[in-house]
Amino acid sequence: MTTLLREHRRLHSLSAGALARDLEVHPTSLLRWERRERLPGPDHVKALARALELETTTVAQFFDEARPSPAPAAGVRGHGLRALRVQAGVPVRELSARLDVLPATVYNWESGRARIPATMLPALAATIGTDASRLGQELRTAPVARSRASSSELRRLRRRTGLSQAAVAARVGTTRHRLGTWERGTLPPLWAVRRMAAVYGVPVARVARAAGVTAPPLLDPRTWSPGDLPGALVALRGWSGLTQRELAERCGWHPTSVRAWERGRVVPAARARTRLEELYGLAQGALLAAYPDVSP
């Protein structure tokens, strides 16, 4: 089939120049089409079919055989990233800084407009406090948004207090617009769940259920095992509503120290560990259960 166009041109006793003039293209372009060195656009495909008295699909197939097969989509779909990020309490700007990408890139991942490169998964897993080997599955199964019934329940909790969205937003430390998006189905961060529970006078678990939020397992000290410290620190900070910089400033540390602890590069010294336990309301020495096992 590689000579299809040339054969049919000759069958019609047409020179390359004559057919090119009929198609209003340069003869060189026509010869390159015949050799499939170049591929014409849809209009020229139809014009070739008419001139050579061929079916348009036949001419299109002739050129399709020369088109490279599309490469498989690289990376992982990230439609569940927002839920995982919110549950870990990691803002978009912090995540983008940790991964050295633009915030717009993170939004594109979360909306499904772009896939997350496989090379990004280990750093992404460390940032949101999950296991890199499970991250792909979690990205696919994490909820994108709550059900309408859940959002209605969150709205009912507010209305039973007699407070407006503006009043609750001011007490929680957010905006009325953001509170409204939570009531319409967007997953709120863990720190907001905790603060709304205090404003509404109900247990945190009730607000979490109403919001469709599942706290990360590592938020519960009873689940900690040796080596869980990085993920536990990310979960605890997310629950508190602090960024890495805010945590460092509050405790008089450098942000790089907080970042190194949460990435598992080093562990907090005794004084820093005690300060973290006080800040997060943990029993003294509780964090030691998550420290790496250094026994021989």
**What is the distance between the alpha carbons of residues 78 and 226, in angstroms, rounded to a whole number?**
29
Q: Which helix (H) or strand (E) holds 149?
A: helix 148-159
The pLDDT of 244-271, averaged and rounded, is 92
Q: Which helix (H) or strand (E) holds 254?
A: none
Radius of gyration for the alpha carbons in the chain, expressed in angstroms and rounded: 30
pLDDT for residue 72 = 54
For residue 290 the two structure tokens come to 């998550």
- Domains annotated for the chain, with CATH where assigned, are 4-64 (1.10.260.40), 81-141 (1.10.260.40), 148-211 (1.10.260.40), 218-290 (1.10.260.40)
pLDDT tens digits, residue range 241-256? 788 898 999 999 999 9
- The partner residues of 116 in beta bridges, in order of sequence, read 76
The answer to whether 187 touches 88, Cβ cutoff 8 Å, is no
Whether pLDDT at 283 is above 70: yes
Would the pTM count as exceeding 0.85?
no
Give the pLDDT band of residue 240 (cuts 50, 70, 90). confident
Burial 214-245 (b: 16+ CB within 10 A, else e): ebbebbebeebeeebbbbbbbbbbbbbbbbbe
The pLDDT of 131-146, averaged and rounded, is 70
pLDDT tens digits, residue range 82-137? 888 877 778 888 888 888 888 778 877 887 778 888 888 888 988 888 887 888 87
* 96 exposure class (CB count in 10 Å sphere: 0-12, 13-18, 19+): middle
**What is the distance between the alpha carbons of residues 254 and 244, in angstroms, rounded to a whole number?**
9
For residue 116 the two structure tokens come to 């997350």
